[in-house]
Amino acid sequence: MLETEKRELLRGLPAVDAVLRAPAADALVSHHGTKATTAAVREALGGARREILAGGEPEVTEETVLAVAAKLLAGRGLRRVVNATGVVLHTNLGRSVLSGRAVEAVVEVATSYSNLEYDLTAGKRGSRYDHAVPLLKEITGAEDALVVNNCAGATLLALSAVVAGTSAGEIAEASGEPEVIVSRGQLIEIGGGFRIPEVLELSGARLREVGTTNRTRLSDYERAINENTRAILWVHPSNFEIGGFTESVGVMELATLGLPVVADVGSGALLPISDEPRVEAAVRGGAAITIFSGDKLLGGPQAGIAVGLSRWISAMRRHPLARALRADKLCLAALEATLAAYLEGTAREELPTVRMLHAPAEEMKEKADQLAEKLARVAPNLSIDVAPSVARSGGGTLPLYEIPSYAVRLKDEEGDADAVAEKLRSADPPVIGRVGEERIWLDVRTLLDGDEETILEAVENLDG
């Protein structure tokens, strides 16, 4: 393209003010505000300008600029989406959904003052680390508990405290840097590049690997123990499983070796599900510290929870890292409300995550049939049916666990499932399903109250 042609196209770009005066801009301004809409319009025009300078000839009008700006705005900021993927703990979609009681607790402490660090009995400063402790002790049978802002942080803090918390006499006898023993089969990486060896390095401990990827015996641990050994780390490989010729050592066996065992059980299962390790089992098995997540199988807010012997939990509480990793008042309020459901025996009915994981397939079939019938009325041009589906736990938990479910499948006349999926993602709120067999699958297991109406509206407006 000649430079004169480029200059002509650039001069033809509409002004920001002209775009904002177009009738279609009113909806964007009312929904996102003037500043955000203006910034998106400028970004859209900047993209068109770069395309022209690169030799392109985009069609640029007030309407096309607003269309690009709308897409830019739709992808910004946290917002509600409909999870129709069938993945209950969908990490990309926020994992656990809080219960009504947990939301009420968050709102109460968020919109008023609270006793976050105030002892109401003594009338003086208290500690935020005391909240949720009585509930966790009662549920798990542990001597003490600590809540921090995520499970990776809890793992780092626990290892750091164990390495630093050894008695002076024991340290004097050591001839080298402190070591933590871990099985090679448990040197895992979970989402976001979180790797156990790197966490061990950050804690100040030297990694002492034992066994092989598929087989580790108690004797492997015994031979590795020396004067520098501070602890044994046991990690549940939450997001994968190794089958076949395997052997591993449990927490109870490791506890017989006389060293503190730090057990990272991962998902925080407080109720039986598949073969997932239970938190209280690790505590009873003799783990010095048991670590788990709050926003996975437990069904609460993002949190890293440590329960165990008072000596080691106190060491974690006193460690300088504790302040950097501490949980805020909203997390603590939601966690206490979630734990209360377990104590009261209402977790299966009250906590959305637990309810979705345990709901019978027959209930899902009925739910899918009802949704399909309603969709057929609002979108007669679509091919709609109900098919058996397989839901997943997700969130790095139970990698091979299949949950029988049902999905409503949509297919348009062109058979372009990807295009339909994109339109559903562009709805307000967005509807996220999965594509397969030239259809959109809307798995009903992960639908919440109110999602059905949202799906109906989004499908009805597919051609809008």
Q: What is the pLDDT of residues 128-152, one digit of tens each?
A: 999 999 999 999 999 999 999 998 8
Do 88 and 223 share a domain, yes or no?
no
Per the structure, the count of domains in the chain is 3
Q: Which residue range(s) make up the domain with 204?
A: 100-350
pLDDT digits (tens, 9 = 90+) for 238-294: 766 777 777 888 899 999 999 999 999 988 899 999 888 999 999 999 999 999 999
pLDDT at 392: 95
Rounded Cα distance between 59 and 53, Å, is: 14
Do 323 and 405 share a domain, yes or no?
no
Do 406 and 317 share a domain, yes or no?
no
Whether pLDDT at 397 is above 90:
no
Q: Report the Cα 266 to chain-centroid distance in Å.
A: 12
pLDDT digits (tens, 9 = 90+) for 409-430: 999 888 789 999 999 998 888 9
Do 303 and 172 share a domain, yes or no?
yes
Per the model's pLDDT, the better-predicted residue between 122 and 266 turns out to be 122
pLDDT at 174: 52
Adjacency order of strands within the sheet including 144-148? 144-148, 304-308, 289-293, 261-266, 229-235, 179-183, 206-210
Do 300 and 327 share a domain, yes or no?
yes
pLDDT at 197: 73
CB 68 within 8 A of CB 323: no
Do 395 and 322 share a domain, yes or no?
no
The mean per-residue pLDDT over the stretch 45-71 comes to 88
When the pLDDT of each residue in the chain is averaged and rounded to a whole number, the result is 90
Do 136 and 260 share a domain, yes or no?
yes
pLDDT at 171: 42
Do 213 and 121 share a domain, yes or no?
yes
Last residue of a domain, one of 319, 350, 381: 350
Do 346 and 374 share a domain, yes or no?
no
Whether pLDDT at 167 is above 80:
no
User: Which of 160, 108, 425 shows the shortest CA–CA distance to 312?
Assistant: 160
Q: Which of 76-80, 193-197, 263-267, 288-292 is least confident?
A: 193-197
Whether pLDDT at 168 is above 70:
no
The mean per-residue pLDDT over the stretch 198-214 comes to 81
Rounded Cα distance between 120 and 123, Å, is: 5
pLDDT digits (tens, 9 = 90+) for 24-41: 899 889 888 899 999 999
Do 161 and 220 share a domain, yes or no?
yes
Per the model's pLDDT, the better-predicted residue between 12 and 254 turns out to be 254
Longest dimension (CA), the chain: 82
Reduce the DSSP state of residue 409 to 3 states and report it. Answer: strand
pLDDT at 393: 93
pLDDT at 414: 83
Do 394 and 372 share a domain, yes or no?
yes
pLDDT at 175: 58
Do 338 and 369 share a domain, yes or no?
no
Burial (CB count <10 Å: 0-12, 13-18, 19+), residue 425 = middle
Q: What is the pTM of this model?
A: 0.85
pLDDT at 433: 96
The kind and range of the H/E element at 119 are strand 118-119
The mean per-residue pLDDT over the stretch 388-402 comes to 90
pLDDT digits (tens, 9 = 90+) for 324-373: 999 999 999 999 999 999 999 999 999 999 999 999 999 999 999 999 99
